[in-house]
């Protein structure tokens, strides 16, 4: 997450974000999602405060070469949060999200379906190597645009 540390200051100022916290989740002891996330313990939690809203985003850097495809539970977790959990959150000022930061290069993803990078981005999968100068900005835009 060094990339994040290097870019967040500029993004924070540009988007007029308040406080930003990047927290490390404890593996198998911290926050985990079982049935809905296929025993998913995201490595990081990003907490952003902007105006009267709070954005909690679960981030998991991982290789996706051996994933089950775009419908893998860990990849689709953002949808579960948006469609199932978010409507149950009593506080409308808390926005939930998730992202996979792939350390597998786009061309090395050999799934049956051949997807473009934009298709992965729409499924909240960003490529650390292929999108090195822009993946954090893409993620931040998707987080803030959710409300």
d(CA 28, CA 76): 20
- pLDDT score of 68: 80
Least confidently predicted of 14-23, 71-80, 99-108 = 14-23
- pLDDT score of 108: 86
Buried b / exposed e across 9-31, counting CB within 10 Å, b at 16+?
Answer: eebbeeeebeebeeeebeeeeee
- pLDDT score of 30: 66
Q: What is the CATH number of the domain that holds 91?
A: 3.40.1350
Number of domains in the chain: 1
Average confidence score pLDDT of the chain? 85
Q: Which domain holds residue 67?
A: 2-145
| Single pTM value for the model | 0.87
CB 95 within 8 A of CB 78: no
Q: Answer yes or no: is pLDDT of 58 > 90.
A: yes
DSSP 87-108: GG-S-TTEEEEEEEEE-S-GGG
- pLDDT score of 34: 64
DSSP 33: B
Q: Find the DSSP H helices in 1-147.
A: 2-14, 77-80, 117-122, 135-145
């Amino acid at each position: 997450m060094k990339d994040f540390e290097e870019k967040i200051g500029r993004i924070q100022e540009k988007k007029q974000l308040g406080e930003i916290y990047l927290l490390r989740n404890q593996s198998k002891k911290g926050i985990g999602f079982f049935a809905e996330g296929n025993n998913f313990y995201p490595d990081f939690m990003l907490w952003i405060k902007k105006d009267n809203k709070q954005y909690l985003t679960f981030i998991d850097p991982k290789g996706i070469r051996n994933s089950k495809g775009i419908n893998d539970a860990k990849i689709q977790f953002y949808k579960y949060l948006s469609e199932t959990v978010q409507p149950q959150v009593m506080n409308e000022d808390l926005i939930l999200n998730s992202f996979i930061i792939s350390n597998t290069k786009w061309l090395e993803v050999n799934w049956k379906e051949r997807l473009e990078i934009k298709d992965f981005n729409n499924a909240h999968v960003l490529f650390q190597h292929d999108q090195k100068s822009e993946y954090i900005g893409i993620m931040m835009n998707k987080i803030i645009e959710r409300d």
